[in-house]
């Protein structure tokens, strides 16, 4: 059956993909040759509920090109696929889906039920992205598909695997090595998802904000002389003040202020440092303290310090040992819990006066006055401002107003509110304003594991390309902050830590148990819950609030650790999962108590790990670690990681740190970083802009190969990736071009009885020798480009070779040859050349090449397993190359000359040679039919004198004339010649200028000088010929 005119991608891709999958063509080690190295790539796992976007398409195309290339080379190749459980994102997607379906909410169904619901969601979505990757042609070993939550305790059937075990083991190991710790820190809190997030998950965005100025009055009605001076020390303002002025962009946080800070060098406030001020709206006094943090030149120079809701203030509060009062709940509403305000503030005053306290008590005190309790933080802000304005504690300014009716002017006082651009933190997922929040969280002590990760890149053990990526990497790692890894969500790896009472609490527990029992005996009844809690609180308050941690792989091991810790005289009991607090932990003492054996209650930490903690273990986790699997032996460290530069910190740096910390090896030898795929204009693709290009639609329209080739072509190192559909269409056309060259070959019997040949035929015709050489050249260039991750150069080379050399010239040259003596050799050559086009293109365009491969000959193996060529340089035959350059240049020149003087394209002309060197004559003789055909020349005659009324074409070693007396417009031909002469003159001028400069001859390398001379001679020769032609034309007209 003859070939169709075009490749039917829609039909063929599915069929070919099935063949690959059915034959397990992508399995690890497929096509591996003995003695060849391993080549392994870890896919950046897409979110399990995600779908393929252009970034994936780009990223995976590059991985696939490398993988297919190495597989063809015979390397032991593994491309490890899989998906990420993507904690917050997946939980969000599932909850949204549940809401849509009218299912009960997450909290209503409870943790266990919700988790199985997420697993269900995962099962549903998983096929989507995997199928989409397969449509792209991704040659992953699909039998090895991994999942970052596989083997989790609640995983359903079919989700076995040990990724979860690996994650937990790493946590436990790192914990035991002191690399992971828990602490109450100020963290970024996402009020929408009600979880902590890491620094990296915060997006700082500039928004329009306001700055308000408040007065905090000095206690006891004290006053001071407030003096401002200019830079020369001259007094510019002097007044008696009974207040200090502070500025804030977040007025609602003033309710939690612990102090006002000024710079120690700030003379304006020197008289009042150490004095107390009234905190407006609150019955509290706070001190004026000094700290290096306030900038005397900014605002009033005085800063309110709210330790629990601002990162800078927190640092100041720590230095000054100020209590940090938390004002908001997990949803960033003003707290409504705890004791009434009057009670809380009374206790706060005691604490301020020096009464002993601890972190947990401070945290439990709700210092939000009743009227603000339960308000959203932004609502509270409005209220606070209004209330401060009302009591006259805003800094005001005088405004002159004109009464529109009477025209009379009067002055009015108005609070100063500055409009100001402020940087505001937003959650990268939730897009809500992030609240610094003082909570207990788990951290990786990154400072302790960062050095090996830095060294690995510094020493070149791991190479990052482009090189600028290394600078970014260093910059971040050298300034690394502790990594908050606990998340207050449900979908994820639960932190393997159980809490029990610390020894102080055990002691307190024994005491409270005694009190509890004696009370009951005294009253002769059971205590009420309130009575019981009162006892508990009394005893717990004096104990350290830090719980005893038991970090272990599982419950049993935790129990074992606990038993060892508390001694045999205790009974270990696990509290229900979802509730935990130290208060209730202590409360457990009032529960099971039998025969002098204390019941110790353990609670498992309800939090889960940051998704990036588990994906940080992707390289070893997917290979079966902690088992020492053969795959781990063979494929780790992996060869190349290809990923977006946007996750260099999230993922790359953390993989480096974690792999080094866990197995003391780098996870990969090379990291290839690429930018974000943007639209043709360079804009970010976004739904709101409506410029999103869906890779699947592109595949439907142009085929996967076109998209892939476009991706490769735009993958220049470090550049911005602008995707233009016009370009994709162009590469689809490129595929068609190759297709039709093969179709042409088919029509000419090239494929008859063809079997794959690694070595080219012994060619006698220059054209065949030439194209064999061009093929060898292209193959070498493509290999080199891929070696250097220059996908763009590989694509460019192939495009130019296949279209510009094979199709434009070789196919045309072959046409006359098929009729001659060298027909057989030419058929063989063409088959070999086209085979190599397919092979070299296969990593980039796998579908069309696999299809052509099957269509065009008898093949021992699928294209996907065909050997990558290593063609010896001797195939590049210099004389043939030179001769064909002469031929193609001559054809180009004749065509150009004809077109410029408007000779009809179809008209065959005679050619007259007025001068020809031996080389030129040989070149002509060898290729006459080719030239005649392509330049539309009838005959070649030789004369010594050029005919009059002819156009002239100068070639190397020859001058040709095309007699056109009466046909051509003399003026037009003169113009044409003049144009060429002008160009030559410019070149000659340049070359001459250089050669005549003595410094040039003295300093430039010999070969450059020589090349200049040769060039000049050639140009001058050509110019002479054309000048002569010009003269002849002038003689006529």
Partner RNA sequence: GGGCGGUUAGCUCAGCGGUAGAGCACUACGUUGACAUCGUAGUGGCCACUGGUUCGAUCCCAGUACCGCCCACCA
Residue whose CB is less far from RNA, 109 or 315: 315
- The contacts of residue 920 (CB under 8 Å, 6+ apart) are 886, 955, 956, 957, 958
Residue whose CB is less far from RNA, 474 or 565: 474
User: Which residues lie across from 246 on neighbouring strands?
Assistant: 214
Residue whose CB is less far from RNA, 526 or 978: 978
Residue whose CB is less far from RNA, 145 or 190: 190
By the rule CB under 7 A, 714 interacts with RNA: yes
User: Which of residues 108, 517, 784, 819 is near RNA by CB under 7 A?
Assistant: 819
- Residue range at the interface with RNA (CB under 7 A); choices 157-165, 196-204, 583-591, 1017-1025: 196-204
User: Which of residues 548, 575, 748, 927 is near RNA by CB under 7 A?
Assistant: 748
- Residue matched to tokens 């949803």: 331
Task: Name which of residues 462 to 491 contact RNA (CB under 7 A).
Answer: 467-468, 471-472, 475-476, 479
User: Which residues lie across from 684 on neighbouring strands?
Assistant: 678
Residue whose CB is less far from RNA, 434 or 512: 434
Residue whose CB is less far from RNA, 238 or 471: 471
Residue whose CB is less far from RNA, 283 or 893: 893
Residue whose CB is less far from RNA, 178 or 690: 690
Minimum distance from residue 656 beta carbon to RNA (Å): 17
Using CA atoms, how far residue 69 sits from 199, 703, 802, 863, in Å, is: 39, 20, 18, 11
- Residue range at the interface with RNA (CB under 7 A); choices 559-567, 725-733, 845-853, 1019-1027: 725-733
By the rule CB under 7 A, 816 interacts with RNA: yes
Task: Using alpha carbons, select from 207, 14, 199, 48 the residue that is nearest to residue 121.
Answer: 48
The CB density around residue 475, as the number of other CB atoms within 10 Å, is 10
Task: Name which of residues 301 to 340 contact RNA (CB under 7 A).
Answer: 301, 303-304, 310-312
User: Which of residues 128, 154, 740, 921 is near RNA by CB under 7 A?
Assistant: 740
Q: Assess contact for 959 and 915: CB atoms under 8 A.
A: yes
Minimum distance from residue 808 beta carbon to RNA (Å): 5
- The contacts of residue 1032 (CB under 8 Å, 6+ apart) are 946, 948, 950
Angle at 787 (CA atoms; ends 25, 797), nearest 5 degrees: 90
Q: Are strands 593-594 and 409-415 parallel, antiparallel or unpaired?
A: unpaired
By the rule CB under 7 A, 200 interacts with RNA: yes
Using CA of residue 174, residue 178, residue 179, residue 184, what is the dihedral sign?
positive
Residue whose CB is less far from RNA, 573 or 895: 895
Task: Name which of residues 540 to 579 contact RNA (CB under 7 A).
Answer: none
User: Two tokens at 920?
Assistant: 């030129």
By the rule CB under 7 A, 993 interacts with RNA: yes
Q: Assess contact for 619 and 659: CB atoms under 8 A.
A: yes
- Residue range at the interface with RNA (CB under 7 A); choices 171-179, 455-463, 566-574, 1008-1016: 1008-1016
User: Which of residues 681, 687, 874, 996 is near RNA by CB under 7 A?
Assistant: 681
- The contacts of residue 274 (CB under 8 Å, 6+ apart) are 287, 288, 289
Q: Assess contact for 287 and 259: CB atoms under 8 A.
A: yes
User: Which of residues 36, 722, 859, 1032 is near RNA by CB under 7 A?
Assistant: 722
Residue whose CB is less far from RNA, 529 or 1002: 1002
Cα–Cα distance, 915 to 138 (Å, whole number): 58
User: Two tokens at 649?
Assistant: 């910190």
By the rule CB under 7 A, 250 interacts with RNA: yes
By the rule CB under 7 A, 273 interacts with RNA: no
Task: Name which of residues 6 to 25 contact RNA (CB under 7 A).
Answer: 6
User: Which of residues 811, 864, 937, 951 is near RNA by CB under 7 A?
Assistant: 811
By the rule CB under 7 A, 992 interacts with RNA: no
SS3 for 294-323 is CCCCCCCCEEEECCCCCHHHHHHHHHHCCC
Strand ranges (E), 195-308: 195-197, 202-217, 224-229, 235-241, 243-248, 259-262, 276-279, 284-290, 302-305
Number of residues that bind RNA (CB under 7 A): 100
- Contact string 786-805 vs RNA (x = CB under 7 A): ------xx--x--x---x--
User: Which of residues 812, 910, 956, 1020 is near RNA by CB under 7 A?
Assistant: 812
- Residue range at the interface with RNA (CB under 7 A); choices 324-332, 734-742, 776-784, 874-882: 734-742
Using CA atoms, how far residue 920 sits from 889, 937, 960, in Å, is: 12, 17, 11
Residue whose CB is less far from RNA, 468 or 939: 468
Task: Name which of residues 382 to 421 contact RNA (CB under 7 A).
Answer: 420
User: Which of residues 51, 554, 581, 736 is near RNA by CB under 7 A?
Assistant: 736
User: Which of residues 680, 907, 971, 1024 is near RNA by CB under 7 A?
Assistant: 680
Minimum distance from residue 737 beta carbon to RNA (Å): 5
User: Which of residues 181, 574, 593, 744 is near RNA by CB under 7 A?
Assistant: 744
For helices 704-713 and 54-73, the axis angle rounded to 10 degrees is 90
User: Which of residues 578, 870, 892, 938 is near RNA by CB under 7 A?
Assistant: 892
- Residue range at the interface with RNA (CB under 7 A); choices 288-296, 357-365, 507-515, 958-966: 288-296
By the rule CB under 7 A, 429 interacts with RNA: no
Task: Name which of residues 629 to 648 contact RNA (CB under 7 A).
Answer: 646
- Residue matched to tokens 């015709």: 765
- Residue range at the interface with RNA (CB under 7 A); choices 111-119, 488-496, 736-744, 874-882: 736-744
Q: Assess contact for 766 and 884: CB atoms under 8 A.
A: yes
Task: Name which of residues 210 to 239 contact RNA (CB under 7 A).
Answer: 211
Cα–Cα distance, 93 to 1014 (Å, whole number): 70
Query: In which element (H, E) is residue 426 found?
Result: strand 417-427
Minimum distance from residue 404 beta carbon to RNA (Å): 37
- Residue range at the interface with RNA (CB under 7 A); choices 140-148, 372-380, 776-784, 1000-1008: 1000-1008
User: Which of residues 109, 194, 223, 293 is near RNA by CB under 7 A?
Assistant: 293
- Contact string 648-667 vs RNA (x = CB under 7 A): -x------------------
Residue whose CB is less far from RNA, 438 or 535: 438
Cα–Cα distance, 717 to 715 (Å, whole number): 6
The CB density around residue 77, as the number of other CB atoms within 10 Å, is 30
Minimum distance from residue 335 beta carbon to RNA (Å): 21
User: Which of residues 990, 1018, 1027, 1030 is near RNA by CB under 7 A?
Assistant: 990
Strand ranges (E), 89-179: 146-147
Cα–Cα distance, 154 to 909 (Å, whole number): 84
Q: Virtual CA dihedral for 245, 248, 253, 254, nearest 10 degrees? A: 10
Residue whose CB is less far from RNA, 681 or 874: 681
Burial class (CB in 10 A: 0-12, 13-18, 19+), 107: exposed
Cα–Cα distance, 771 to 766 (Å, whole number): 9
SS3 breakdown of the chain: % helix, strand, coil, rounded to 5? 50, 20, 30
User: Which of residues 874, 999, 1031, 1035 is near RNA by CB under 7 A?
Assistant: 999
Minimum distance from residue 372 beta carbon to RNA (Å): 19
User: Which of residues 74, 151, 264, 296 is near RNA by CB under 7 A?
Assistant: 296
Using CA of residue 928, residue 933, residue 937, residue 939, what is the dihedral sign?
positive
- The contacts of residue 843 (CB under 8 Å, 6+ apart) are 64, 65, 66, 68, 69, 72, 786
By the rule CB under 7 A, 972 interacts with RNA: no
Task: Name which of residues 23 to 52 contact RNA (CB under 7 A).
Answer: none
By the rule CB under 7 A, 741 interacts with RNA: yes
Cα–Cα distance, 424 to 408 (Å, whole number): 43
Q: Assess contact for 186 and 256: CB atoms under 8 A.
A: no
């Amino acid at each position: 059956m003859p070939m169709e005119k075009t490749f039917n991608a829609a039909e063929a891709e599915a069929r070919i993909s099935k063949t690959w999958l059915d034959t397990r063509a992508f399995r690890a080690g497929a096509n591996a040759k003995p003695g060849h190295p391993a080549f392994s790539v870890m896919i950046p796992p897409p979110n399990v509920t995600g779908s393929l976007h252009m970034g994936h398409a780009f990223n995976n195309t590059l991985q696939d090109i490398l993988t297919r290339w190495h597989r063809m080379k015979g390397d032991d190749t593994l491309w490890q696929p899989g998906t990420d459980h993507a904690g917050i994102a997946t939980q969000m997607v599932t909850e949204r889906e549940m809401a849509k379906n009218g299912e009960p909410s997450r909290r209503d169904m409870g943790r266990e039920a919700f988790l199985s619901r997420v697993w269900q969601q995962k099962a549903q979505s998983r096929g989507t992205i995997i199928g989409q990757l397969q449509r792209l042609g991704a040659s992953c070993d699909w039998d090895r598909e991994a999942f970052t939550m596989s083997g989790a305790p609640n995983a359903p059937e079919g989700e076995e695997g040990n990724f979860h075990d690996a994650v937990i083991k790493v946590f436990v190991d790192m914990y035991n090595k002191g690399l992971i710790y828990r602490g109450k820190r100020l963290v970024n809190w996402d009020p929408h998802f009600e979880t902590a997030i890491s620094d990296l998950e915060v997006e700082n965005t500039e928004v329009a904000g306001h700055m308000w100025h408040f007065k905090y009055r000095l206690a006891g009605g004290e006053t001071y002389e407030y003096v401002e001076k200019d830079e020369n020390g001259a007094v510019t303002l002097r007044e008696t003040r009974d207040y200090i002025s502070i500025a804030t962009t977040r007025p609602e946080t003033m309710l939690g202020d612990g102090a006002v800070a000024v710079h120690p060098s700030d003379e304006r406030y020197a008289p009042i440092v150490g004095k107390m001020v009234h905190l407006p709206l609150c019955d509290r006094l706070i001190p004026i303290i000094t700290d290096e943090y306030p900038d005397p030149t900014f605002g009033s120079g005085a800063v309110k310090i709210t330790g629990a809701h601002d990162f800078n203030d927190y640092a100041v509060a720590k230095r000054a040992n100020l209590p940090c009062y938390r004002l908001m709940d997990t949803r960033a509403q003003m707290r409504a819990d705890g004791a009434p305000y009057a009670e809380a503030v009374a206790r706060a005053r005691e604490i301020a006066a020096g009464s002993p306290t601890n972190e947990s008590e401070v945290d439990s005190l709700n210092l939000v006055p009743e009227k603000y309790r339960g308000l959203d933080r932004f609502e509270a802000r409005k209220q606070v401002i209004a209330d401060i304005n009302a009591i006259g504690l805003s800094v005001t300014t005088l405004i002159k107003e004109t009464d529109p009716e009477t025209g009379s002017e009067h002055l009015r006082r108005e609070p100063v509110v500055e409009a100001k651009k402020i940087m505001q933190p937003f959650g990268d997922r939730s897009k809500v304003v992030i609240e610094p929040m003082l909570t207990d969280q788990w951290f990786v002590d990154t400072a302790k594991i960062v050095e090996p990760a830095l060294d690995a890149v510094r020493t070149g053990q791991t190479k990052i390309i482009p090189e600028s990526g290394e600078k970014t990497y260093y910059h971040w790692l050298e300034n690394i902050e502790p990594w908050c890894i606990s998340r207050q969500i449900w979908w994820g790896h639960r932190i393997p830590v159980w809490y029990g009472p610390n020894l102080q609490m055990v002691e307190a527990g024994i005491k409270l148990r005694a009190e509890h029992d004696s009370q009951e005996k005294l009253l002769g009844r059971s205590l009420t819950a309130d009575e019981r809690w009162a006892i508990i609180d009394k005893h717990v308050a004096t104990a350290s609030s830090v719980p005893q941690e038991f970090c272990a792989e599982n419950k049993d091991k935790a129990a074992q650790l606990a038993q060892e810790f508390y001694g045999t005289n205790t009974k270990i009991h696990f509290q229900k999962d979802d509730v935990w607090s130290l208060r209730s932990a202590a409360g457990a003492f009032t529960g099971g108590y039998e025969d002098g054996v204390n019941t110790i209650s353990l609670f498992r930490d309800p939090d889960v790990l940051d998704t990036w903690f588990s994906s940080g273990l992707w390289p070893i986790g997917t290979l079966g670690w902690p088992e020492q699997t053969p795959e781990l032996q063979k494929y780790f460290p992996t060869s190349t990681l290809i990923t977006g530069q946007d996750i260099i910190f999230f993922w790359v740096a953390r993989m480096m740190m974690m792999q080094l910390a866990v197995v003391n090896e780098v996870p990969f030898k090379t990291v290839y970083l690429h930018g974000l795929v943007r639209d043709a204009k360079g804009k970010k693709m976004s739904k709101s802009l409506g410029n999103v290009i869906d890779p699947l639609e592109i595949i439907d329209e142009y085929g996967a190969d076109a998209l892939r080739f476009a991706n490769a072509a735009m993958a220049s190192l470090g550049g911005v990736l602008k995707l233009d559909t016009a370009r994709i269409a162009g590469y689809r056309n490129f595929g068609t071009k190759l297709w039709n060259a093969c179709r042409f070959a088919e029509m000419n019997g090239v494929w008859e009885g063809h079997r794959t040949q690694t070595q080219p035929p012994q060619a006698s015709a220059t054209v065949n020798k030439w194209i064999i050489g061009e093929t060898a050249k292209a193959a070498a260039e493509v290999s080199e480009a891929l070696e250097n991750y220059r996908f763009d150069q590989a694509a460019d080379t192939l495009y130019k070779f296949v279209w510009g050399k094979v199709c434009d010239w070789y196919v045309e040259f072959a046409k006359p040859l098929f009729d001659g003596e060298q027909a057989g050799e030419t058929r063989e050559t063409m088959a070999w050349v086209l085979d190599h086009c397919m092979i070299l293109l296969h990593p980039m365009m796998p579908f069309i090449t696999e299809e052509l491969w099957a269509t065009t000959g008898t093949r021992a193996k699928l294209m996907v397993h065909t050997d990558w060529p290593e063609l010896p340089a001797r195939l590049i035959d210099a004389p043939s190359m030179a001769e064909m350059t002469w031929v193609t240049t001559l054809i180009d020149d004749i065509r150009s000359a004809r077109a410029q003087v408007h000779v009809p394209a179809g008209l065959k002309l005679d050619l007259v040679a007025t001068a020809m060197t031996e080389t030129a004559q040989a070149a002509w003789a060898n290729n006459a039919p080719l030239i005649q055909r392509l330049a539309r020349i009838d005959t070649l005659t030789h004369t010594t004198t050029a005919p009059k009324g002819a156009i002239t074409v100068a070639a190397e070693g020859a001058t040709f004339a095309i007699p056109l007396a009466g046909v051509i417009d003399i003026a037009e031909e003169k113009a044409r010649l003049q144009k060429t002469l002008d160009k030559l003159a410019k070149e000659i001028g340049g070359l001459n200028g250089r050669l005549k400069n003595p410094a040039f001859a003295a300093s430039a390398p010999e070969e450059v000088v020589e090349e200049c001379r040769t060039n000049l001679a050639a140009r001058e020769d050509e110019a002479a010929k054309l000048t002569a032609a010009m003269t002849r034309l002038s003689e006529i007209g």
